[in-house]
Amino acid sequence: MEEKPPIDSLVTPSSSPAAVTAELAPNPRWDSLGLSPEALLLIEKAGFKTPSGVQAEGIPIALEGTDLIASAQTGTGKTAAFVLPMVDRFAGREGTFGLILAPTRELAQQTQATLEMFGAPRKVRSVVLIGGIDMKIDVAALGTYPQVIIATPGRLCDHLDRGNIWLDYIEVVVLDEADRMLDMGFADQLARIMQDVPAKRQTLLFSATMATSVTNLAKKILKNPKTVAIGKLNSASTSVTQRLLHMPEESKTRELRRLLREEPGSIIVFTRSKDKATRVWRSLHSAGIYDATYIHSDRMQSHREQALAEFKEGKYRIMIATDVAGRGIHVDGIAHVVNYDLPMDPEDYVHRIGRTGRADLSGKATSFVTPQDRKILGEIHKILGKEIPAEYAEASPSASSGDGESSGRSHRGGSRSGEGSSRNGSSRGGRGGAPRKFEDGAQPRAAGASPAPGTPSTGIRPRAAGAAQTSAPISADPTSPRGDGSSRLDRPAKNESKGEGRPEKKTSAKKADHQPPAQPNPRTFYKTAPVDGGAPAPSNGGSNGSSKSTADGTSQSATAAKPAGTSAHAAKKHTQTANASKSKKPGMLKSLISKIFS
């Protein structure tokens, strides 16, 4: 088989006195690790040429049955380091003997996929217990007595509480991503599970970082473990090119769109919250970037599995994820990792960028940094032991309008340009617009001030802000087309309210004389019709006094009022016309009723 160059690794002893230091062979080979011929054949079929550092050191210790603490960078093949020994140990046996705990659903499913690759051909069955699946399906799968159970701590405790599972015959317990399980608050669940498994067992603990909490957990559940640490702890892979991009918060979406259009290959975008992941996906979709999907813990399990499968298949080029969901994204060939938000925990930065640069491939990692991220950025530099090269995003005012989350904010209080031109060709800028330009060097004058003699009208009368419009003319111009010494500008604006220069509307008496008589309303006519030729009955139960209800529902005087400013002859004619209209209508109705009933 083809061999790779020697793997540069560093093996450090554990803080525990009982730890044993292992040394890495100069040129590790699969056939020198103690695996069975069947396992070597499956490894060759899978295309794995040379074992990684954690595989070369961890597999022999796991085959011995000794407890192990393995710390290595993300993407160095820790999963195969415990799956291959377990398959060799349980092949040909009936019963449940292995338990693998993972922090997230996606990571548990990834582990099961690796176990099926090497275990299914050798009749080693496995079942995965994760949230989002019907309990009845889990119970039916457990009834097949698989050799290995893969579960998240919370889901396994649910089955233990219901009595669906017993761990009395477990021989090997694996804690994958132990640091992440503790960060997610699974310490109590882990303690409960360790009480249910036999005291005589083998425990394998794998972690990308070795925090104090991980060391304390190892002291409680492991017995005389051997420790293997490959590479510098809490460090990123040297094959990943890192950079920082400083920018304000409102420029993140714009810069992300630009980066996604410029960078080829598969890209993972990490956000700090589930809501932010959804909003970023929607922003990309609205900008025409449709080859993006998203994943977080609030999505249905079937949707999460579908999104991850389609991302692996290449249907989607961009995956937007949170830290919790991102731990299970083990996809080869990720070209770029984008930290849309810096993680709250600096150790999560190492896990994030570990999604790229896997299997000795090169990758890129870009982190968006805002002024509020200075503290967490300093902690990340402290963990890495070096500073990440930094750049500054271009601050373009015109480009910022394309930001899906901040477009239009910076222009709400300013001038509204682009709304058309005013009468003299200047911009309708409003309060925040540019000052108007006057021809021939003329300057604007205050409200109510008279223009200089001989100065032509510009068509615009500037008014101070907040000053009320007055009806007084600017000047008495004898050449005014109105002939009253005022100009067209003296007319009040149509939108001015009464009392601010708008004259009262007058109605001439002559026009009132020729108003047509009111037409009767058919709905109220019967109420006002005279009974047996007498006076009309009151419409609302009132007396037949000076006020009577007319056909249109209004009150009218019994005697016709004499219109003001008219002659006696005109007043008499008006009274006769009103009386004739009153007496004519009831007679017509009476004759109509008699014809109907005759």
CA-based max dimension of the chain: 133
**What pLDDT is stored for residue 495 in this prediction?**
46
3-class secondary-structure state, position 228: strand
**What pLDDT is stored for residue 403 in this prediction?**
44
**What pLDDT is stored for residue 383 in this prediction?**
85
Structure tokens at 407: 């477009």
Q: CB–CB of 266/333 below 8 Å?
A: yes
- Read off the pLDDT of each residue in 124-134 and give the average, rounded to a whole number: 92
Share of the chain above pLDDT 70, in %: 61
Residue 348's alpha-carbon distances to 64, 177, 228, 383, 413, in angstroms, are 33, 12, 21, 11, 40
9 pLDDT band, cuts 50/70/90, is: very low
- Read off the pLDDT of each residue in 332-351 and give the average, rounded to a whole number: 88
Which option is the CATH number for 30-230: 3.40.50.300, 3.30.1300.10, 3.40.462.10, 3.40.50.2000? 3.40.50.300
Q: CB–CB of 585/520 below 8 Å?
A: yes
**What pLDDT is stored for residue 130 in this prediction?**
92
Tell me how far apart the alpha carbons of residues 557 and 555 are, in angstroms, rounded to a whole number.
7
Residue linked to tokens 């810096």: 342
Q: CB–CB of 194/221 below 8 Å?
A: yes
In degrees and rounded to multiples of 5, residue 204 shows phi and psi of -115, 125
Q: How long, in residues, is the chain?
A: 598
Residue 133 has pLDDT above 70, yes or no: yes
3-class secondary-structure state, position 513: helix
Residue 220 has pLDDT above 60, yes or no: yes
234 pLDDT band, cuts 50/70/90, is: low
- Read off the pLDDT of each residue in 132-137 and give the average, rounded to a whole number: 90
**What pLDDT is stored for residue 351 in this prediction?**
80
pLDDT tens for 558-579 read 444 444 444 555 555 555 555 5
| Sheet of 202-207, strand order | 126-129, 148-151, 98-101, 172-175, 202-207, 68-72, 226-230
Tell me how far apart the alpha carbons of residues 106 and 328 are, in angstroms, rounded to a whole number.
4
**What pLDDT is stored for residue 8 in this prediction?**
33
Q: Write out the DSSP string of 75-107.
A: TS-HHHHHHHHHHHHHTT--S--EEEE-SSHHH
Select the highest-mean-pLDDT range: 279-283, 461-465, 586-590: 279-283
**What pLDDT is stored for residue 473 in this prediction?**
45
Tell me how far apart the alpha carbons of residues 439 and 60 are, in angstroms, rounded to a whole number.
92
What are the structural domain ranges in the chain?
30-230, 240-394
Residue 166 has pLDDT above 80, yes or no: yes
Which option is the CATH number for 240-394: 3.20.20.10, 3.40.50.300, 3.40.640.10, 3.10.690.10? 3.40.50.300
Average pLDDT taken over every residue of the chain: 73
Bridging pattern class, strands 292-295 and 172-175 = unpaired
**What pLDDT is stored for residue 370 in this prediction?**
94
Q: CB–CB of 393/245 below 8 Å?
A: yes
pTM over 0.75: no
pLDDT tens for 449-462 read 554 555 444 444 44
Residue 246 has pLDDT above 70, yes or no: yes
308 pLDDT band, cuts 50/70/90, is: confident
**What pLDDT is stored for residue 384 in this prediction?**
86
**pLDDT: is 182 or 100 the higher one?**
100
CATH topology agreement for domains 30-230 and 240-394: yes
Q: CB–CB of 295/307 below 8 Å?
A: yes
pLDDT tens for 482-527 read 444 444 444 444 444 444 445 455 544 444 445 555 555 545 444 4
